[in-house]
Structure 1
Amino acid sequence: MGARLKSHWFLISLVLIIAIGFFASESLTPLLEMTPLRSAIVFAVMGSMGITLPAHSVRQSFHKPLPTLLAIAINVVVVPLLCWPMRAYLPAPIFGGLFIASLVPCTLASAAVWTRKADGNESIALMTTVVTNLACIAVVPIGVTLVLAKTTELSVTDQVWNLTLLVVIPIVLAQTMRMAGLAEWADRQKLRLSFFAQLGILSMVGFGSIASAMVVREAMQENASRFGIQIGQLLVSVTTLHVAALVFGVFAARMVRADRESQIAVGISGSQKTLTIGLQIAIDCGVSVIPMLMYHFTQLVIDTVIASHWSHASKSKTNSSEETSSRSL
């Protein structure tokens, strides 16, 4: 029992934080006005995860760049395009939140971890993470301007500045610290830094759940049954979006004759999205944060199951090959 709690503590904490933020939202609402606090948490999370990114692993992806480029293209272009038709049936605030979820970069933490768990090529996931996070200062403002200009009042200049401050600077600073001699320290402290980053993510989930509660209360007062239908539609949309991007990545990598490890990496890193940046942008833009929370929770659950399946399949294949080799001897 203790081992299960230890391995699933983040998911359990995620549910608890969402519940606390939602049901205690009225007393916790003043926290939403603490913009500097939210920014500091995001900066700290990006920095603590950025310093654990090993440059040598990222360089490995340059030997066979096509799968990495494919994963980046899926994360930056394909996912938003898959999300676009959903505006036909989702309310504007909910679609706005979902579209922002589709625009934000690959998650710094779980993409590489889940790729490793599934016996995939971790260097592809790491490179996709770095490039999409650095590119988000252009991708997110362009996407928001083209699609959500009528939904948000946040200017392009403000978006670029915020993303540069909260994403680019901490990652560049963290990598500079690694090159300055802190690489060994960061590698030794990787588990602690990851734990610290996860606490920061949980904090942002708290902010998001408080904001979500305000949206939910207003919607329930207007039409409770209609809101329930919208949440059901959103859950189906989020699941469809993530699974479609993951499956597309695997088959696209297979089409370019990438090996099995690369197919796994393209599927996972191409479809995963970061919660920390997504919540920050959604709150700043004034759209619903529920889609970002739902996307993150859904990708964790789905990718855990898929990664476990791929890992078992890989081990079974290895054991079968070893048995065949021993028989032939």
Structure 2
Amino acid sequence: MSLRRFLPDNFTLCLIATVIAASLLPCRGSAAQVFNVLTDLAIGLLFFLHGAKLSREAVVSGLTNWRLHLTVLASTFVLFPLLGLALKPVLSPLVTPELYIGVLFLCTLPSTVQSSIAFTSMARGNVSAAVCSASASSLIGIVITPLLTGLVLQSHGQGAMSWGAVGEIVLQLFVPFVAGQVAQRWLGGWVQRHRPLIGLVDQGSILLVVYTAFSAAVLEGLWKQVPVSVLGGLLIVSAVLLAVALVITRYGSRALGFDREDEITIVFCGSKKSLASGVPMAKVLFSAHALGMIVLPIMLFHQIQLMTCAVLARRYAERAGVNRRKIVGPAETATAD
């Protein structure tokens, strides 16, 4: 049973299968153009559905806890980029320069939505605040991430991000999201009743981007540039970034005087990075031949954060159960259970 906690989920297996398919059968020529068009359409539909799903009432209900939301946003958009730059002397020798650019891009991404809320709920944290923080992070990231990417890459000696790239992000991601929010009053109920549809579009769009990205990268000689030793180095880099973020968000939230439920929300919303937002943004911001190197760190960090946070959420929940038994006593606990 404990071994299953560390096994990859079905979506991760699909990602691995997609990378293998792109490595063996990369799309090229007219087929690549068709896949690019399909990918753009799927991404637009994804953000439209996310806009239609997001309940304004749920967001408003969590807005009062502004200190928590500012802390989460600071962790996501300030702490992570600073870690990516500050740890460069230690971590960059472990990977290639191209992969480290992918790591820096990872540091600028918004938080996840679904898994942040799910882990907060599992750990018995402040779920309404998690809904608000994760949703706000995802929405703000559409604009902040490309700007941060430009600043971080410029400090890394890679040149500034063009305003045209920011405009493309807004057009391809933000406009469909706003359109979904406008249509939320009519489509919100239908979308809530068909949540698997969003999951299908979500995962399908990511798999399409991964396939086209790795196809282009394989044709450019990706696997000659990324041996097994470099993948091992990337694993260490991702693990170190996540570990430092988890420690800072946990003990930082306590130092700031947050209670246990808010601490849980800060830990799970402030330490995570979104694969669903990151992959579409990377497609717009980076050239096709570099995209595989950019997406690879996001995919690896995604799996590490899921496995680590699953274990951490269970420990939080177990600790909450122990504390509750101490407060209410054995008899009341048995009745409540």
Superposition pairs for residues 71-86 of structure 1, below 5 Å? 71-86=72-87
Q: What pairs with 1:244-323 in structure 2 (closer than 5 Å)?
A: 244-283=244-283, 284-285=285-286, 286-287=290-291, 288=293, 289-323=295-329
Residue 326 of structure 1: how far off its partner (Å) = 4.5
In the TM superposition, residue 67 of structure 1 has moved relative to its aligned partner by: 0.9
Matches within 5 A, 1:197-216: 197-210=202-215, 213=218, 216=222
Match of 1:17 in 2: 15
Contact 1:101/1:273 (<8 A) preserved: yes
**Structure 2 match to 1:57:** 58
Partner of 1:120: 125
Return the offset for 1:168.
Answer: 1.7
CA shift in 2, pair 1:257/1:206, >3 Å: same
Deviation at 1:195, TM superposition (A): 4.4
Question: Counterparts of 1:195 and 1:311 in 2: how far apart (Å)?
Answer: 30
CA distance in structure 2 between the aligned counterparts of 1:63 and 1:260, rounded to whole angstroms: 17
- Pick one of 143, 152, 159 that aligns with 1:147: 152
Structure 2 residue aligned with 1:91: 96
| Match of residue 135 from structure 2 | 130
- 1:45, 1:201 within 8 Å by CA — same for their partners in 2? no
**Post-superposition CA distance 1:261-295 (Å, at most 9, x none):** 11111111111111133223434412512111111
Q: Could you tell me how far apart the structure 2 residues matched to 1:16 and 1:183 are?
A: 29
Q: Which amino acid aligns with 1:22?
A: I
Q: 1:118 to 1:167 in 2, by over 3 A?
A: farther
Amino acid in structure 1 at the alignment position of 2:269: S
Give the residue type in structure 2 aligned to 1:277.
S
CA distance in 2 between partners of 1:190 and 1:292 (Å): 24
Identity of aligned residues (%): 22
TM-superposed deviation, 1:132: 2.4
Taking a change above 3 Å as real, the CA distance of residues 58 and 311 of structure 1, as seen in their structure-2 partners, is same
How far residue 45 of structure 1 moved from its aligned partner, in angstroms, is: 2.2
List alignment gaps of at least 5 residues for structure 1: 221-226
How big is the shift at 1:296? Answer: 1.0
Cα distance between partner residues in 2 of 1:92 and 1:326: 58
Please say if residues 147 and 161 of structure 2, whose CA atoms lie closer than 8 Å, have aligned partners that are also in contact: no
SS of the counterpart of 2:121? helix
Q: How far is 1:101 from its partner?
A: 1.0
Amino acid across the alignment from 2:23: S
Name the residue aligned to 1:170. Answer: 176
Question: Given the alignment of the two structures, is residue 228 of structure 1 paired with residue 228 of structure 2, yes or no?
Answer: yes
Q: 1:154 to 1:14 in 2, by over 3 A?
A: farther
Q: TM-score, normalised by structure 1?
A: 0.83
The Cα of 1:255 is off from its aligned counterpart by 1.6
With over 3 angstroms needed to count, the CA separation of the structure-2 counterparts of 1:25 and 1:54, relative to structure 1, is: same
Distance 2:312 2:299 in 1: 20
Q: Distance in 1 between matches of 2:174 and 2:8?
A: 26
State the number of aligned residues.
Answer: 317
Q: Retained in 1: the 8 A contact 2:206–2:280?
A: no
Moved more, 282-291 or 71-80: 282-291
Q: Measured at CA, do residues 326 and 126 of structure 1 come closer, stay the same or move farther in structure 2, by a change above 3 Å?
A: closer
How large is the RMSD of aligned CA atoms in angstroms? 3.1
User: Could you say which residue in structure 2 is the equivalent of 1:238?
Assistant: 238
- Counterpart Cα distance in 1 of 2:179 and 2:138: 14
Contact 1:76 1:103 in 2 (8 A): yes
Q: Distance in 2 between matches of 1:8 and 1:18?
A: 16
Deviation of 1:18 (Å): 1.6
**Aligned partners of 2:42 and 2:7: how far apart in 1?**
20
CA-CA distance at 1:91 after TM superposition: 2.4
- 1:63 is paired with a residue of what secondary structure? coil
1:9-39 Cα shifts (integer Å, max 9, x gaps): 9822322432342254242333654333222
Contact kept, 8 Å, 1:86 with 1:237, in 2: the verdict is: no
Instruction: Tell me the amino acid that sits aligned with residue 242 of structure 1.
Output: L
Provide the rounded CA distance (Å) in 2 between the counterparts of 1:162 and 1:242.
30
